[in-house]
Structure 1
Amino acid sequence: MKDQLLPAVSFQGVTRRYGLVNAVSDVSLDVSPGEFFALLGSSGSGKTTLLMLLAGFDKPTEGRVLMSGTSVSDVPPHRRQIGVVFQNYALFPHLTAAENVAYPLRMRGVGRAEREARVKSALGLVNLTDRGSSYPSQMSGGQQQRVALARALVFGPDLLLMDEPLGALDRRLRDQMQQELKRIQGELGITVIYVTHDQSEAMAMANRIGIMAEGRLLQVADPATIYAAPSNHFVARFLGDCSILRVTATDGGRGYEICGVRQPLLSPATAPFDIVVRPENVAVHPVVEAVSGDISGVPATIRDVTYLGAGWRVTLELPDGQSLLASIVRGDHKNVYLAPGEPVVARWAPTFVAALPAEKSS
C-alpha cells in the first residue's frame, strides 16, 4: 500500500552536462503510477536526454533518478523493467514479427510455451494477430510501429518510454495510432513517458505535459491548464497559436488598457504584464456593432485572410501596430466582410485572457 503512494518515476535535481553544455539542467519531476506523461519540446530541448537517463543509457552528472522510490542511477538498463519504443522502431529485419516480439522473452530465459502465449497476447493487443509470420519489410510503417510496441510490452514492464514513436507516419496514420496507444495504455494501466515535438499529439494523449527548452523544464500541467494559463512567453508560443499583446496595467493590476479600451482581469497581475489571447477566442465584428457587456471591443484592420476549409484564419492589425490572430469558423461569419483593409472590431472575453510578466525588450 505504501508503494502505491510513491511516484512511478522521480527526477530529483537531475543535470546532464557534456563538457560545458548542460543538456539537462536541474530537472525535478514526479510522474504518478498509471499516468500518460508527455515531454514536449523542440529539437535540442533536452527531452530525449532525460528519457535516456531514465532508461539507463546515460547517467546524470548531478541528481538522482528513482523508480517507485528506489534510485536506479546505478542500475543497468536491462534490469530496470522498462520498455522502450523509438521512432525508427529498431526491428530485426531477419526476424518475423512474432520473433521480434519474442526477443525480450528469449533474453530473459522465458520458456517456449509461455513465450508463445505472451507473444500471441501482445500481438493481439496491437491488432496484429494475423501478421506474426510477416517480416518487417513486408509490413507498413504503422504495422512495424505496432510490432515495436508489442515487443516493448511483452515482458510486462513497469514503465513504457516512447521517443517520437509516430514521427515517421503520415498524419492520418498518426491520428489512428494516437487512439490505439491511449486504448492500450488504458487497458494495461501502465505508466507512459512520451517524448514528442508535436503539440497536438501531446495535447491529445497526455494526462500531463512537461514543456522543455534549453535543458530546463519550464512548466508541468494538464493540457487544458498549460494551454489556457502558460507560465511564460515561450510556453504560450510553443503550445498552439496565440497573440501576445503589450498592454498598460490599470487598477493596480486588476485590469489593463489596450488601444484606449479598458478590460478587467479575472486574477490581478503584477505590472508590467502582457496578455495572451488564443485566436479561437477572438470574435470579429463589423465596426457598426456597439461594444456591449463586459466584453472588450478593440478597433482593428484586417491585414490577411487565409481560407482553411472549416473556416478562416484572420490576421488583424491594431491601431498601435500590434498583430492579433482570429479564427472564424463557418457559421460564425456574422456578416463580416473578410477582406484586407476592412475595418472591424475585435472582441474577447476576460475569461480567455492569460497575463504574463512583460517580455523584456532586447
Structure 2
Amino acid sequence: MTNQLLPAVSFQGVTRRYGSVAAVNDVSLDISPGEFFALLGSSGSGKTTLLMLLAGFDKPTEGSVLMSGTSVSDVPPHRRQIGVVFQNYALFPHLTAAENVAYPLKMRGVGRAESETRVKTALGLVNLTDRGSSYPSQLSGGQQQRVALARALVFGPDLLLMDEPLGALDRRLRDQMQQELKRIQGELGITVIYVTHDQSEAMAMADRIGIMAEGRLLQVADPETIYAKPANHFVARFLGDCSILRVTEKDGGRGYEICGVRQPLSSQAAGRFDVVVRPENVTVHPATEAASGDIPGVPATVRDVTYLGAAWRVTLELPDRQLLLASVVRGDRMAGHLVPGESVVARWSPEFVAVLPAEKSI
C-alpha cells in the first residue's frame, strides 16, 4: 500500500485528559489527502485541543495520531511539516510582510536566493506581491491574515491547520477570504483541517464536517448530509435553524400524527421518534386552505415575524404549544402580510423531514 492510499491524518481512539476532565474523548477519524475538513463545535467542545494534538503542541493521554500511516507521537512540532494559522495572526511587528513569510525558511536554513523565490511565490498566491515591504501595522486585517497564510504555506507543508482564522474579520472580508482559501487549497491540493464555531463557514468551505461536543465527535459527513440528516438532536440544533417536533408514530412508522393531523414519511421509522424540519422547507398558507393540496396542513398561529432582508423569519405556534419556524421569501404570496396572532396553516414535504429517536423528556 502506498502513502497515496493512506489517510493524510488518522486519529485512533484519541483521548486527552486534564485531571478528571476529558477535553478530547475517544476520537477516531480519518482525513483523506487533499481534503478540506472542518471541525465544528462551540467553545470547549474539544476541537482546538484535537488540532493541538495533531500539531504536536500537546500529547494524547490515550490513542495515536498518525500522518500518512506513521505515528507522530514522538515527532516534535517543527518536524511534522505542518503549517498553522491562528485567529491571532502572530506576525512579528518589526518585520515586513516578506520577512514574516520568510521566517519559517530562515529557521529551516533555506538559502537566501531560494528563500526569496519561495516568498515571492507565496505572496503571489495570496495576492500580496506588492505589499512585501509593508509592516503589519500598515496592513488591513484581511491582508495580515493573508500574510499569516503565506507564512504557513511557504515551506511546502504536507498539512495546513487553521484555528478560527477568520474570526477577527468582518462579514464581507470573511466571505471574501473563504473564497480565497478554497481557491488556494484547490490550486495546491493540500490537506486542510479547519477549526471553527461558525456553521456557515464550515458549510461553505468543507468537503466534510465533523461536529464535536464535550470532547466527542458526534457526526462526520459532507455538508449536505449533515444538514439534511443529523445524527442526533444536538447536531440538528447546532447546524442551522430547525424545529424538532414531538409526534405520535402511526401506520407502523410509515407516518406520524401532529396536532391531530396525519403526515406521511418518505421512509419507514422504527420506535418512538421526533421529526426535524428546517424553516426553508415550511410553507405558510391562509387558514382557509387547511384541506387543499397533497400535503395535509397543520393549523398554527403566527407568534412572531422578523424581517431579514431576503426573507421573513416566522415563528408559528401549533395547537399543542410546540413552536415551528418558517422562512417566507420574497415572491411568496404571504411575504410581508403575516402578522402576530394570525391563524394560518403550515405544510412541509415528507422528503425534507429528518427522523430522530425521540428525545427523553426532562
For residues 317 and 17 of structure 1, the distance between their equivalents in structure 2, rounded to whole angstroms, comes to 44
2:235 alignment partner AA:
V
Alignment correspondent of 1:35: 35
Distance 2:361 2:111 in 1: 65
Partners of 2:246 and 2:273 within 8 A in 1: yes
Partner of 2:80: 80
1:232 is matched by which residue type in structure 2?
N
Match for residue 26 of structure 1? 26
Separation in 1 of the partners of 2:34 and 2:161?
13
Equivalence map 1:57-136=2 (5 Å)? 57-136=57-136
Q: Secondary structure at the match of 1:147?
A: helix
> What are the ranges of 5 or more consecutive residues in structure 2 without an aligned counterpart?
none
C-alpha distance in 2 between matches for 1:116 and 1:80: 23
Give yes or no for the alignment of 1:216 onto 2:216. yes
Find the aligned partners of 1:48 and 1:317 in 2 and give their Cα distance: 39
Cα offset, 1:267, TM superposition: 2.0
How far is 1:18 from its partner? 0.3
Give the aligned partner of residue 144 of structure 2.
144
**Which residue in the other structure is 1:349 paired with?**
349
Distance 1:143 1:134 in 2: 10
State the distance in 2 between where 1:153 and 1:69 align. Answer: 22
Report the counterpart of residue 202 of structure 1 in structure 2: 202
> Contact 2:160–2:191 at 8 Å: present in 1 too?
yes
Aligned 8 A contact 1:306 1:312 in 2? yes
How many angstroms apart in 2 are the aligned matches of 1:147 and 1:254? 56
TM-score between the two structures when normalised by the length of structure 2 = 0.98
Name segments (4+ residues, structure 1) moved above 4 Å. Answer: none
2:82 corresponds to which letter in structure 1? I
Contact 2:126 2:146 in 1 (8 A): yes
Identity between Structure 1 and Structure 2 (%): 88
Q: Deviation string for 1:29-52 (max 9, x for gaps)?
A: 000000000000000000000000
Q: Distance in 1 between matches of 2:336 and 2:48?
A: 46
SS of alignment partner, residue 181 of structure 2: helix
- Matching residue's letter, 2:50: L
Residues 294 and 349, structure 1, Cα contact 8 Å, conserved in 2 = no
SS at match of 1:296: coil
* 2:228 counterpart residue number: 228
Q: Partners in 1 of 2:189 and 2:5 — Cα distance?
A: 16
Partner of 1:182: 182
Q: What amino acid sits opposite 2:361 in the alignment? A: S
1:254 equivalenced with 2:254 (yes/no): yes
Q: Once the 2 structures are TM-superposed, how far is the Cα of residue 270 of structure 1 from its aligned partner?
A: 2.0
How far residue 333 of structure 1 moved from its aligned partner, in angstroms, is 2.6
For 2:336 and 2:93, how far apart are their aligned partners in 1? 58
CA distance in 2 between partners of 1:6 and 1:200 (Å): 30
3-state SS, counterpart of residue 51 of structure 2:
helix
User: What residue in structure 2 maps to residue 55 of structure 1?
Assistant: 55
Q: Is the 8 A contact 1:286 1:335 kept in 2?
A: no
- In 2, the alpha carbon distance for the partners of 1:79 and 1:281 equals 49
CA distance in structure 1 between the partners assigned to 2:98 and 2:152 by the alignment? 13
Equivalent residue number for residue 286 of structure 1: 286
Residue 127 of structure 2 aligns with an amino acid whose one-letter code is N
Amino acid at match of 1:324: L
The aligned residue for residue 267 of structure 2 is 267
Give the count of matched residue pairs. 362
User: What code does the residue aligned with 2:282 have?
Assistant: V
Indicate the residue corresponding to 1:163 in structure 2.
Answer: 163
